[in-house]
Amino acid sequence: MPTLWTGARAQPAPLRRPTPSQTEGPFYPVKLPQDADFDLLRNGALNYGRGQPSWLEGSVNDLNGRPVRGAQVEIWQCDHAGHYDHPGDGGLVDKAFQGFGRVTVNAQGEYRFRTIRPVAYSGRAPHIHLKVKLAGRELLTTQLYVAGEALNQRDFLWRSLADEQARAALTVPFTFGPDGLRAQFPLVVQA
């Protein structure tokens, strides 16, 4: 007679809650920059020396916790003065700031970007836009917010999140490390 497992070991792991989606916003690049790698502090031969240098790291996993191999993660954000590299933002962006980056996750589903701690601009709390793609499909578009930022409470998109758990999923601390600020932002998608 086969043994019947009961208890926690017999139960399938619960599905993870997907990362909440948010709007792409008006400043997704119209034309992707020629330099679109992981390092937003270098735009071609130009080095960006403003803002607070930061590492944004995380992983892309499915609802079962498995890495989503081959996923691409894109980020875009404003420069230290609150300007995007987008024609709708008046062309005021610091040209040394790449403003957009794209990486393919490694075998463990991990990604990493070098950028700046996001800053506020008119009507918005500091945030970074992220998009996850796989084989030409968009799996997630969202925004990352800074934990402890007073402006979060006034940001209409942060406030529009359904509940505290959704806000917590998109709000992460930027902590000091040996090579600058660091933020961990895990992403869970329905692949």
Residue range 75-111, pLDDT digits in tens:
999 999 999 999 999 999 999 999 999 999 999 999 9
Sign of the CA dihedral with 142 first, then 143, 148, and 149 last:
negative
The arithmetic mean of pLDDT across residues 60-72, rounded, is 97
Backbone φ, ψ for residue 133 (5° rounding):
-125, 150
What pLDDT does 179 receive? 85
The arithmetic mean of pLDDT across residues 113-138, rounded, is 97
Backbone φ, ψ for residue 43 (5° rounding):
-120, 95
Which tokens hold the place of 164? Answer: 């505290």
Return the amino acid letter for 76: W
Predicted confidence (pLDDT) at residue 11 exceeds the cutoff of 90: no
